[in-house]
Amino acid sequence: MTMLHPALSSWSEAPRVRSMNGQDVRPEGRYVLCWLQQALRARDNPVIDAALQLGNALGLPVLVYHGLREDYPHASDRLHRFILHASRDLARECRQRGLACVQHVDRAAMREKGLVYRLAADSAAVLVEDQPTFVARWQAERVAGRIDRAMLAVNAACLVPPAVLGDGIGSTSAFRRRHEPLRAAWAEAADLVPDAAPYDGPLPFAPDRLGTASDAELDALVGAAEIDHALAPSTLFVAGREGALVMLERLMDTVLPTYAATRNDATRPIGASMLSPFLHFGVIGPREVMATVDAAAAPAASKEKFADELLSWREWFHYQARGLAAPERYDRIPGWARETLEAHAGDPRPELETLDALTHGETRDETWNACQRQFLIDGWMHNNLRMYWAKRIIAMTPDPETAWATACYLNDRLSLDGRDPSTYGNIAASFGGGAPGRDGPPIYGKVPERSDGSTRRRPSGPDWLATAAARPGPRLAVPARVPVELYLAE
């Protein structure tokens, strides 16, 4: 494998960067291509900074590119709109930063094939974010294997780059011990300044100029795409950078002061930051969130609890996923859990539900319906409901593999923060995290079950659950069987 270009290997953020294909940088290129898929922010973005570090050394401009296809799994108005608003703000803020940013949004009137390859052909190197799950990973790996110049992956999702942690960390407590002392050293964004003027040379396509698009024009792009139009955008979130900043302000003013005490109360909407969709799409990064938390006047216990969620848990799941060939697949759950679930696969299942009833939150379990309708209507679910939601699916589906695929499918299709290392890591933890229990209960075997007591036993719990389970939601097209191809081994 070729070494990194010296401009990158000597850079302070070098541990974020790895070569994906061992190819060389081609200094004769017109630009350094910064291909963003999910890290949709212009500042505090290590992918852009790595591209600038290389571009400045080569005397080349950086060209930022974001493309949105119609055929990614679970494509819907909900996901498309959230992404397009983030992409518009990316373009606007790139311009303020002195960078050219071009976009392409696939739709019937304007389809392009192989755009990344065509853009790469004129580049010195391609910088892409190092995402360990789903489409961003699959696309980057495919392109890396087919281009004849350096493709470099840059970690933009984590505060501490996973590479500096070393391999083989096997538990969250060991992860915390390794991670915590390194945080301060990685807390500052580089935000490099481009030496070159914004790229305005030839392009192999007519780009969409989202930076100047109105809301109506973005809506028209969503409407013109061949995607699931029945799944409406979430009204719980303002999309784009503005939405992330609204949530950040809310975190400081309302959430943090009581976070340690109220985070687990699903009946009180002030308990959680609701930042996960913005973190998933990289609209905001953990460094910016933590800088705000550190500066906030809030009790130390709340700040520590928040840091543990955002830095220990989230970055642990990123670390885990990076070491897995397919973090989305059932075979990632621990052997003992698969064994015990499969040993009980033949147990009677009186609580079986159809995929249609599950998707629409119309099962016989009121608490489960309350959870599911948050996914269906809001595109987000409160943390305290999620473990109950995932574990109950095991009893509501015919076998453990179908349960896994169903949990991933519902989370990925409906939730704005789905398709993430935290999605599959947490579902895996629900199916087989921690130590095995005593083999006893039917269906679950040694996998500990979870009751709905943490919500139902609260004074307002029963009323809250009944109301939440009865919220009217959209009617979606649901396949007869859960699509398993993304989630089970061939």
| 75, 125, 279, 370: residue in contact with ligand FAD (rule CB under 6 A) | 279
Question: Which one, 312 or 354, has the nearer CB to ligand FAD?
Answer: 312
Q: Say whether residue 427 binds ligand FAD (CB under 6 A).
A: yes
User: From the CB of 312, what's the least distance to ligand FAD, in Å?
Assistant: 9
Picking from 201, 207, 218, 202, the residue whose alpha carbon sits closest to that of residue 102 is 207
Site membership for ligand FAD, residue 92 (CB under 6 A): no
Sign of the CA dihedral running 411, 416, 417, 418: positive
Which residue(s) pair with 103 in the sheet?
A: 66, 208
Contacting residue, 93, 309, 356, 362, with ligand FAD by CB under 6 A: 309
Decide if 153 contacts 134 (C-beta within 8 A).
no
Choice between 102 and 244, CB closer to ligand FAD:
244
Q: Can residue 415 be called a binding residue for ligand FAD (CB under 6 A)?
A: yes
Please enumerate in sequence order all residues whose Cβ is within 8 A of that of 13, keeping only pairs 6 or more positions apart, or say none.
46, 49, 50, 53, 161, 190
Which span sits near ligand FAD by CB under 6 A: 154-162, 179-187, 211-219, 421-429? 421-429
- What secondary structure does DSSP assign to 124-162, as a single string? EEEEEE---SHHHHHHHHHHHTT-SS-EEEE--S-SS-G
* Torsion-angle region of 18 (φ positive above 0: left; ψ -120 to 50: alpha; else: beta): beta
Q: Based on CB atoms, which residue is closest to ligand FAD, 158 or 213?
A: 158
Q: 329, 355, 349, 358: which is closest to 428 by C-alpha?
A: 329
Tokens, residue 151: 């493709």
Size of the site for ligand FAD (CB under 6 A): 27
Interface segment toward ligand FAD; rule CB under 6 A; list 72-80, 100-108, 203-211, 311-319: 311-319
* DSSP letter assigned to residue 109: T
Beta-carbon contacts of residue 259 (< 8 Å; ≥ 6 apart): 271, 273, 298, 302, 303, 305, 306
Classify residue 59 by burial, with Cβ atoms within 10 Å: 0-12, 13-18, 19+: exposed
Q: Least separation, in Å, of the C-beta of 440 and ligand FAD?
A: 23
Binders of ligand FAD among residues 313 to 342 (CB under 6 A) are 313-314, 317
Query: Among 179, 263, 322, 446, which residue sits at the site for ligand FAD (rule: CB under 6 A)?
Result: 263
**Residue placing its CB nearer to ligand FAD in the complex, 353 or 417:** 417
> Nearest approach, Cβ of 308 to ligand FAD (angstroms)?
9
Place of tokens 């290392």: 421
Q: For 411, what's the count of Cα atoms within 13 Å in the CB-facing half-sphere? A: 30
Residue 480: CB minimum distance to ligand FAD, A: 25
**357-396 footprint of ligand FAD as x/- string (CB under 6 A):** --------------------------x--xx--x------
> Which of 99, 94, 149, 98 is CA-nearest to residue 122?
149
Chosen residue from 131, 369, 430, 455 binding ligand FAD by CB under 6 A: 430
Give SS3 for 101.
Answer: strand
- Tokens read off for 227: 């995607």
Between residues 45 and 415, which has the closer beta carbon with respect to ligand FAD?
Answer: 415
Q: Which stretch binds ligand FAD (CB under 6 A): 220-228, 312-320, 446-454, 468-476?
A: 312-320
CB count in 10 Å sphere of residue 322:
20
Using rule CB under 6 A, residue 131 touches ligand FAD: no
Q: How far apart are the first and last CA of the chain?
A: 30
Q: Does 464 bind ligand FAD (CB under 6 A)?
A: no
Query: Looking at 10-18, 357-365, 416-424, 455-463, which segment touches ligand FAD (CB under 6 A)?
Result: 416-424
Query: According to CB under 6 A, which one of 280, 332, 360, 413 is a site residue for ligand FAD?
Result: 280
Backbone angles phi, psi at 152, to 5 degrees: -120, 125
CA of residue 12 relative to chain centroid, distance:
26
Q: How far is the CB of 430 from ligand FAD (least distance, A)?
A: 5
Kindly state the helix (H) or strand (E) to which residue 306 belongs, with its residue range. Answer: helix 300-307
Closest approach, Cβ 470 to ligand FAD, in A, equals: 22
CB of 429 to ligand FAD, least distance (A): 7
The reply to whether 275 sits near ligand FAD by the rule CB under 6 A is yes
Query: Would you tell me which residues interact with ligand FAD (CB under 6 A)?
Result: 263, 272-276, 279-280, 309-310, 313-314, 317, 383, 386-387, 390, 411, 415, 417-418, 420, 422-423, 426-427, 430
